[in-house]
Amino acid sequence: MADVFLDSFVPGGGGRRRHGPRQSGAGLRRALVLALAVPLTSAALAAPAAFAADRAGATAGADARGPGHGARGPGHGADDRRMVRNLAARVLDPRLGANVGGVVLDSASHRTLWDHNGATALMPASNTKLATATAALTVLGPDHRFTTEVVLGDGTLTLVGGADRTLSGADLAELAGSAAAGLKAAGLTSVRVAVDDSLFPEPALAVGWNTGYYPDSVAPVRALVVDGRHVDDTSLDAGRLFAQKLAAAGVAVEGAVTRATASARDVPVARHRSAALSEIVHRMIKVSDNDVAETLLRATALAAGRPATFEGGTQVVRRVLSMRYGVSLDRFEIHDGSGLSRANRIPAATLADILELLTEPRHARTLGSVRDGLPVAGEAGSTLGPEWGRFDDANSRCAVGEVRAKTGTLTGAVALSGLTQGKDGGWKVFSFVENGSTADPNAVKDAMDGLAATVNGCWA
């Protein structure tokens, strides 16, 4: 609201340490100790002193048959072997095309059960949001709130954008009402109105965004926007609506809304704070909100002492993943926070490693909103809902309610990465990414839903 100035779903069971990056193709973790001495601006990026070596039970040799068959050894039971055989066959589904990467991890044993080109760097589409959300929650913290202010100076009310992508028209009305009350108390009945969106510098468009993406799929990234509107200049759009609300509250607005930079001498007159970041991330993951993801990328950069640019944000994402969580960044390349960039490349193995963090109870408070925000197969209102035709064919329908996963879709790229409880009762982490299939996108998604149902074990 505007101020006048004044444990669910923890897969994997008990606590355990993370053991570092997996060895793609071999199906086992390498023993790894990382000594990290590079200081970071934000304490939230601090890495653990070292990662423990693999346990003896996880160092047996990989299956000699190679990729597509995964690891064999202690704990790899009949259900897992059946799953691996089925995946090896079903990943060859013609609908998926020839350029597919996939990985399945066992949460409890730290083992890679199945790997098919898991180290291949592919366009991940909206699976990129998993990396963005992880970095934002780690650097900013799940309780962080974004602030939009109204300040007064030299007869001008300036609406100052604070990176709140959830700001609504009702919030602006409340800000305008609070500001109007203060102005009237001071004997002012008319003002000029300006907007300050200087928190985020140019460019507002990322490398790899097709011109058809904006302002439809994503708006140019600015620090001020209202009602999630997709217009070329969201800041001036918000300022004009604020001016309308101010006039409705009885304060005349002189001239057109302009862009300005607020002065340190300006007097604060009203403030709005957003919901907690954990709530924002939960919603972003559930519906795959591109605009929120791009705003979070910029805000994360700022909080880590970097420029609030695409480059600053992606640098922080890389450092959080590698130095805080020990995720391998081999062949990892991103240029935005939403995954719309067609220049992004992330291997399925890396996406699975990010998701595996969600199975560790020690990360539950920080990353729990990513875990809980993962769409559930068949969940209306999410990107895995029936309105999108997901998990609705004969092979995958059995997994409704049993799979939590982040979707990703661009022309020529479909991804599905998430968590499910296997036939053996253990939590499995999976990632499937395909690029370049010529099949109908809905057919590709049906095939991927089938792979997830295979990991669950209901399609045996």
Q: Is the pLDDT of residue 408 over 70?
A: yes
Average pLDDT over residues 396-425: 96
Average pLDDT over residues 253-271: 96
Alpha helices (H) along 339-440: 348-356, 364-373
Judge whether 269 and 157 are in contact, CB under 8 Å: yes
Give the CATH superfamily of 147-274.
D-Ala-D-Ala carboxypeptidase C, peptidase S13 (3.50.80.20)
pLDDT of residue 118: 98
Using CA atoms, how far apart are residues 45 and 38, in angstroms rounded to an integer? 10
- Of the candidates 241, 243, 266, 247, the one whose C-alpha atom is nearest the C-alpha of residue 149 is 266
Task: Give the model's confidence band at 126: pLDDT under 50 very low, under 70 low, under 90 confident, else very high.
Answer: very high
Average pLDDT over residues 361-369: 97
Give the CATH superfamily of 22-141+281-290+308-456.
DD-peptidase/beta-lactamase superfamily (3.40.710.10)
Reduced to 3 states, what is the DSSP secondary structure of residue 118? coil
Lowest mean pLDDT segment, chosen from 16-20, 199-203, 377-381 = 16-20
Judge whether 99 and 413 are in contact, CB under 8 Å: no
Cis preceding-peptide flag for 39 (omega within 30 of 0): no
Q: Is the pLDDT of residue 400 over 70?
A: yes
Cis preceding-peptide flag for 441 (omega within 30 of 0): no
Domain limits of the chain? 22-141+281-290+308-456, 147-274
Q: Is the pLDDT of residue 303 over 80?
A: yes
Q: State the pTM of this model.
A: 0.85
pLDDT of residue 180: 96
In whole angstroms, how large is the CA radius of gyration of the chain? 24
Residue showing tokens 């919603």: 283
Helix (H) or strand (E) holding 281: helix 277-287
The more confidently predicted of residues 217 and 448 is 448
- Of the candidates 123, 142, 161, 104, the one whose C-alpha atom is nearest the C-alpha of residue 345 is 123
pLDDT of residue 403: 98
Q: Is the pLDDT of residue 360 over 80?
A: yes
DSSP symbols for 83-104: HHHHHHHHTT-GGG-S-EEEEE
Query: In the structure encoding, which two tokens stand for residue 103, read together?
Result: 């990985």
Task: Give every CB contact of residue 209 below 8 A, 6+ residues apart in sequence.
Answer: 218, 336, 340, 341, 342
The more confidently predicted of residues 216 and 158 is 158
pLDDT of residue 9: 27
Q: Is the pLDDT of residue 51 over 50?
A: no
Using CA atoms, how far apart are residues 368 and 127, in angstroms rounded to an integer? 17
- Of the candidates 419, 424, 402, 399, the one whose C-alpha atom is nearest the C-alpha of residue 78 is 424
Task: Give the model's confidence band at 68: pLDDT under 50 very low, under 70 low, under 90 confident, else very high.
Answer: very low
Judge whether 208 and 342 are in contact, CB under 8 Å: yes
